[in-house]
Amino acid sequence: PLQSKPQAVVTFPGELVGAWSDLELAESYLLRFGYTTEVEAKTGSKHASLGKALRKMQKQLGLEETGELDASTLEAMRAPRCGVPDQPS
């Protein structure tokens, strides 16, 4: 059978080229909504502090507490939401 024409993918003006990586999205989300602080993010092992912050977020939002950047956590981070932080900063 004939191959259908390959789908063109266009970068539309005004849109970010190559949106954030999952990790960048997570770090920004956890910082913005109060699950971690700049200091915490910078000191100690990055993985441990990320895991701790993720666990805090997962607990607060009723997600499974894995401490990992799993699919449901990423989905939650991309969901439309209120801009007020979840943790008092």
Partner 1 sequence: FLTFEGDLKWDHMDLTYRVMNYSPDLDRAVIDDAFKRAFKVWSDVTPLTFTQIYSGEADIMIMFGSGEHGDGYPFDGKDGLLAHAFPPGRGIQGDAHFDDDEFWTLGTGLVVKTRHGNANGADCHFPFIFEGRSYSRCITEGRKDGLPWCATTPSYDHDKKYGFCPSELLYTDGGNSDGAPCVFPFVFDGSSYDSCTTDGRSDGYRWCATTTNFDQDKKYGFCPNRDTAVIGGNSQGDPCVFPFTFLGQSYSACTSQGRQDGKLWCATTSNYDTDKKWGFCPDKGYSIFLVAAHEFGHSLGLDHSSVREALMYPMYSYVQDFQLDPDDVQGIQYLYGRGSGPAPTAPVPAPTEESQPMPTEAGSTSTSEEETPEPTAEPIPVDPSWDACMEESFDAITEINGELHFFKDGKYWTHPSFWKSGIQGAFFTADTWPGLPAVIDAAFQDVLTKRVFFFASRQFWVFSGKSVLGPRGIEKLGIGKEVTRITGALQRGRGKVLLFSGESYWRLDVKVQRVDKGYPRATDDIFTGVPLDARNVFLSQDKYHFCQGKFYWRMTPRYQVDRVGYVKYDILQCP
Binding site for partner 1 (CB under 8 A): 7-10, 12-14, 33, 59-62, 76, 79-84, 86, 88
Nearer Cβ to partner 1 (18/45): 18
Closest approach, Cβ 1 to partner 1, in A, equals: 22
Q: Which is nearer to partner 1, 44 or 85 (CB)?
A: 85
C-alpha to C-alpha distances, 85 to 18, 34, 35, 57, 82, nearest whole angstrom? 26, 6, 9, 11, 8
For residue 47, the minimal CB distance to partner 1 (Å) is 25
What is the closest distance, in whole angstroms, from the C-beta atom of residue 26 to partner 1 in the complex? 14
Give the pair of three-digit tokens for residue 61. Answer: 């939002």
CA angle 28, 33, 36 (to 5 degrees): 70
